[in-house]
């Protein structure tokens, strides 16, 4: 199985980066291939170009997008790892979706209808927030994000939403015990998605009590 871990956090030593590393290591331990795309380290340009907007006169794929799509061609599981910023993904990830998962990769157009191109692939998300889990639940922030990004992207492209793990209250320094518990949730999800034997409890499309520091 081939995984693409798409990380959207500007700090290389962030907890999101550690989560991406934990996911990648767990998948490799299953004998899977992992491609890590650190969008900030790549200096990915999230700005959709006028030429990339499908129109009656055609559609152009920019060089950087063409290269990215080629790298993702054989991916079975797309895993997004990012923090909540104003209850949404960082702009760099939204732009990545806009440019890379658009027409010609995520879907095609035929007879004025969208034809999914990623049927059989999986979408998995890992998110963090400084806001505590009870606030994320009560405000519906996670539910809204899952509907607008995960499920909509999956519906358009044909992917299946495998899971969305959210860890709230991530502020300051976590204790090693709390961090290890979170990493185990990630490893458990990878084993479940990858078909391996899972241990512990996964939290499907739910929040988990993160450790405040």
Per-residue pLDDT tens digits for 177-187: 989 999 999 99
Q: What is the pLDDT of residues 140-151, one digit of tens each?
A: 999 999 999 999
Report the 10 Å Cβ neighbour count for 94: 16
Closest CA to 186 of 167, 159, 209, 160: 167
Residue 154 has pLDDT above 90, yes or no: yes
Q: What is residue 51's predicted lDDT score, i.e. its pLDDT? A: 86
Distance CA 23, CA 54 (A): 35
Residue 111 has what pLDDT?
65
Rounded CA gap, 72 and 69, in Å?
Answer: 5
Domains of the chain by residue range = 2-208
CATH 3.30.1330.10 fits 2-208, yes or no: no
Partners of residue 5 on adjacent β-strands: 36, 79
The model's pTM: 0.88
Angle between helices 91-100 and 63-71 (to 10 degrees): 90
């Amino acid at each position: 199985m081939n995984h693409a871990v798409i990380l959207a956090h500007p700090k290389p030593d962030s907890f999101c980066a550690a989560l991406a590393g934990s996911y990648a290591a767990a998948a490799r331990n299953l004998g899977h291939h992992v491609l890590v795309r650190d969008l900030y380290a790549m200096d990915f340009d999230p700005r959709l170009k006028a030429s990339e907007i499908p129109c009656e006169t055609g559609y152009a794929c920019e060089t950087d997008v063409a290269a990215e799509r080629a790298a993702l061609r054989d991916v079975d599981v797309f895993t997004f790892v990012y923090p909540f910023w104003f209850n949404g993904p960082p702009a760099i990830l939204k732009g990545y979706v806009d440019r890379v998962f658009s027409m010609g990769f995520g879907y095609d157009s035929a007879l004025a209808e969208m034809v999914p191109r990623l049927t059989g692939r999986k979408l998995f998300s890992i998110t963090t927030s400084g806001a505590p889990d009870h606030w994320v639940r009560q405000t519906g922030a996670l539910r809204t994000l899952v509907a607008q990004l995960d499920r909509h992207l999956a519906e358009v492209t044909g992917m299946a939403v495998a899971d969305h793990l959210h860890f709230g209250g991530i502020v300051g320094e976590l204790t090693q015990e709390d961090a290890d518990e979170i990493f185990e949730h990630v490893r458990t999800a990878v084993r479940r998605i990858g078909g391996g034997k899972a241990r512990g409890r996964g939290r499907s499309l739910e929040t988990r009590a993160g450790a405040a520091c």
